[in-house]
């Protein structure tokens, strides 16, 4: 996988982290949204980990 794709995945992961932080800290957090964001973030992390392994 090329570096620009990896950078895009890292950026998306950071964006999800920011959304998760905002949702978690608001007065009445949406637990369904939190669950969805965590799941998306984990999926991206798995993709990044898989792509960084030597071929």
Instruction: Please determine, for residue 34, whether its predicted confidence score (pLDDT) is greater than 80.
Output: yes
Instruction: Please determine, for residue 38, whether its predicted confidence score (pLDDT) is greater than 70.
Output: yes
Tell me, what's the pLDDT at 46? 94
Q: What is the four-CA torsion angle of 19, 21, 23, 29, rounded to 10 degrees? A: 160
Token pair, residue 32, equals: 């369904």
Token pair, residue 17, equals: 């982290």
pLDDT in tens, 7-23: 999 999 999 999 999 99
Yes or no: say if 23 and 34 are a contact pair by the CB < 8 Å rule. Answer: yes
* Single pTM value for the model: 0.83
Tell me, what's the pLDDT at 1? 56
Q: How far is CA 48 from the centre of its chain?
A: 10
């Amino acid at each position: 996988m090329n570096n620009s794709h990896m950078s895009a995945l890292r950026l998306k992961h950071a964006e999800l982290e920011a959304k998760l932080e905002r949702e978690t800290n608001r007065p009445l957090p949406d637990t369904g949204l939190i669950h969805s964001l965590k799941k998306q973030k984990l999926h991206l992390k798995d993709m990044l980990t898989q792509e960084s392994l030597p071929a």
